[in-house]
Each structure stands twice: as structure tokens, then as C-alpha cells.
């Protein structure tokens, strides 16, 4: 498996292909639909975002509370299409990486291609396992959203699969074609 240092660069993204397994290392943010809605509304008002968007990776997760002695609770990915209405606008601002589970809409795949970004799939149903790759977590925006607040994470060998690469190709579309 390939190891990638975050934050992502367009040069690294261009080397990734659908179906490729990679380990991510470094800083990323969390965000689900409520946080995405607020981020886009903030941009529409012409205000400054509470986190830097340019070059970052967002993990679609609402982690459960940490138990005593843990950094974070279970951190399984959220279904990504819930962020599809907001994703193109954030890609315009420089978002480069997204992590979630499931398909992305055709307009999001097109926006990924236009902006040279990448969408990774994380293993659904294995939130406790994913949490083991998170070495630090801190709420940095929208604390009133509880588990859906934006967290700054640091990850080490966080396992993902390239689900949509910078060409807009989707592992889900490929799988569909091979099973027809």
C-alpha cells in the first residue's frame, strides 16, 4: 500500500487511480452535512471560513464521544452523497480530498475532475478500527453541532481506497460494469 502525507498536493493526487489502497498520514478535518451547509452559507455571505479549506482533506464522520483514555470514539465514515450539494462549492475554494463511504453523484465526480481532487472510501462499519489510526482530535468549529462539529484530526496510517480519482473515474462505476 502507498503511504501519502497530508495535506494533499495536486501532484500526488494525479498519481492516484481508482481501486488503489493507500494509507493517509497527517492533518485532516471532519465534517458532515450540517457543517458543510454552514461552510457554504459562510462563503455565500462572503465571510471567512473557520477552517482553511485550500488543500485540505475532509473526513465525513461524526465521531462518537471518546471513552476515558481514548483520543476519539468510534469514527466510521458517513454516507458521502449527503455532502454532494455542498461539495462543488468547497472544491472551488481548494478542497482537495474527501473521505466517506458510497457513491458520489455525477456532478460531484465532474467537479472532482475539474478541480483535480480525489475522493477516498473508508471502510464502513469499522469505526472502532478507523479510530485507532487517529492520533489526535480537537473540535475547531461549530461546537454546538456536537458529534457533527468540525474536528482537526491527525492520522497515522489511516486506510482508504481511491474511490474517485482526479480523472473523475469511479470505482463504483467500474464495479458496476464488471458485474453486468
Q: What is the rounded average pLDDT of the residues 65-73?
A: 85
| Number of domains comprising the chain | 1
pLDDT digits (tens, 9 = 90+) for 18-52: 999 999 999 999 999 999 999 999 999 999 999 99
Quick one: average pLDDT of 149-158? 96
How large is the C-alpha radius of gyration of the chain? 15
When pLDDT is cut at 50, 70 and 90, the band that residue 125 belongs to is low
Strands 2-5 and 150-164, bridge-based pairing: unpaired
In this prediction, residue 175 carries a pLDDT of 52
Mean pLDDT, rounded, for 112-116: 98
Domain span including residue 132 = 2-178
- Asked if the model's pLDDT at residue 117 lies above 80, the reply is yes
The proportion of the chain whose per-residue pLDDT surpasses 90, expressed as a percent, equals 80
Residue 63: band (very low, low, confident or very high) from pLDDT cuts 50, 70, 90? confident
Residue 179 falls in the annotated catalytic set: no
* Integer CA distances (angstroms), 152 to 50, 73, 127, in order: 12, 14, 17
- Per-residue pLDDT, 180: 44
Strand partners, 153: 28, 137
Q: What is the mean pLDDT of the chain?
A: 92
The CATH number of whichever domain residue 64 belongs to comes to: 3.20.130.10
Phi and psi torsions of 110, nearest 5°: -65, -45
The candidate with the shortest Cα–Cα distance to 90, out of 136, 25, 150, 131, is 150
Amino acid at each position: 500500500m502507498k503511504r501519502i502525507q497530508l495535506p494533499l498536493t495536486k501532484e500526488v493526487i494525479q498519481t492516484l487511480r481508482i481501486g488503489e489502497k493507500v494509507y493517509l498520514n497527517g492533518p485532516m478535518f471532519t465534517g458532515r452535512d450540517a457543517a458543510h451547509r454552514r461552510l457554504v452559507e459562510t462563503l455565500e455571505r462572503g465571510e471567512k471560513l473557520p477552517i482553511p479549506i485550500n488543500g485540505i482533506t475532509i473526513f465525513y464522520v461524526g465521531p462518537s464521544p471518546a471513552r476515558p483514555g481514548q483520543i476519539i470514539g468510534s469514527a466510521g465514515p458517513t454516507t458521502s452523497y449527503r455532502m454532494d450539494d455542498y461539495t462543488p462549492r468547497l472544491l472551488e475554494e481548494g478542497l482537495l480530498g474527501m473521505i466517506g463511504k458510497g457513491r458520489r453523484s455525477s456532478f460531484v465526480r465532474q467537479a472532482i475532475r475539474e478541480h483535480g481532487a480525489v475522493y477516498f472510501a473508508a471502510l464502513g462499519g469499522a469505526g472502532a478500527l478507523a479510530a485507532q489510526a487517529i492520533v489526535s482530535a480537537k473540535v475547531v468549529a461549530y461546537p454546538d453541532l456536537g458529534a457533527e462539529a468540525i474536528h482537526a484530526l491527525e492520522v497515522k496510517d489511516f486506510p482508504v481506497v481511491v474511490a474517485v480519482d482526479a480523472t473523475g473515474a469511479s470505482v463504483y462505476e467500474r464495479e458496476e460494469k464488471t458485474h453486468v
